[in-house]
Structure 1
């Protein structure tokens, strides 16, 4: 089953890694195709990137490739130790970058709203306990 590009953690994390210029020796956008990226060094990908982002991208290379395929990416062998991954909706473009930033902002806003709601529930719980404590003291 091929999934459309969404604001899921997988796409966001993958885009950030591929777009990060500091990791270009390991993984970078293809120079010939705006809808693909190349893994230049599979060993470094495993040790430097997958070890940091295993919860989203996969714990090992096999799991990473399986996740890419399940999200609709096609795999091409570039050379020894090099793979290219392509997806029609995963593109290197200012619009895509803007979409990723917006998706991250939405996630941040949702997280902030969840924290605010938890703080409100905690405050209400504290108030309830205070009232219950006052009633218990009155019974004495």
Structure 2
């Protein structure tokens, strides 16, 4: 089953994962595969949990523990690449180290953020409109009592 990044899931997950995998400060914990950057490897699960998932806001999107993180990877279309014992490598057909892909992910995340903001504004406008209508009806009833 193939998951396209832009259609199947929120790009915020992919953006956050890309940032962490691409960050050279986390290379001892998680990094791109050195040969072709088409997958990433989790080098240190304890530090991934402790230093990334538990300590940063990325844990909200990526999962607060390793089980949740791996489940989210699977649900977003990542597959395990069979390696030796203790090595965890994950691949996705549309997730690779590529500056153009990074820009596309950021643009998609920004677009989703704007859409959420627009939806919140619409909800607020509806609430204001309903409140005005309620006050108008209330005033009409008060005028009828006089």
| 1:72 aligned onto 2:78 | yes
Moved beyond 4 Å, runs of 4+ = none
Q: How many aligned residue pairs are there?
A: 139
Report what 1:5 is aligned to. 5
TM-score (norm 1): 0.81
Report what 1:20 is aligned to. 23
* Residue segments in structure 1 that go unaligned for 5+ positions in a row: none
SS of equivalent to 2:6: coil
* Residue segments in structure 2 that go unaligned for 5+ positions in a row: none
Query: What is the RMSD of the two structures over their aligned residues, measured on CA atoms?
Result: 2.3
Query: Counterparts of 1:78 and 1:6 in 2: how far apart (Å)?
Result: 32
SS of equivalent to 2:113: helix
Report what 1:124 is aligned to. 129
Indicate conservation of the 8 Å contact 1:73/1:85, yes or no: yes
Structure 1 residue 77, shift from structure 2 partner: 3.7
> For the structure 1 residues 128 and 87, does the alpha-carbon distance in structure 2 shift closer, same or farther, using more than 3 Å as the test?
same
| 1:100 aligned onto 2:111 | no
Structure 1 residue 67, shift from structure 2 partner: 3.1
Report what 2:67 is aligned to. 62
Could you give the per-residue CA deviations for residues 27-60 of structure 1, whole angstroms, max 9, x where no partner exists?
Answer: 2222222111122221011123223444432343
Indicate conservation of the 8 Å contact 1:27/1:38, yes or no: yes
Query: Counterparts of 2:81 and 2:62 in 1: how far apart (Å)?
Result: 16
Greater CA deviation, 11-20 or 36-45? 11-20
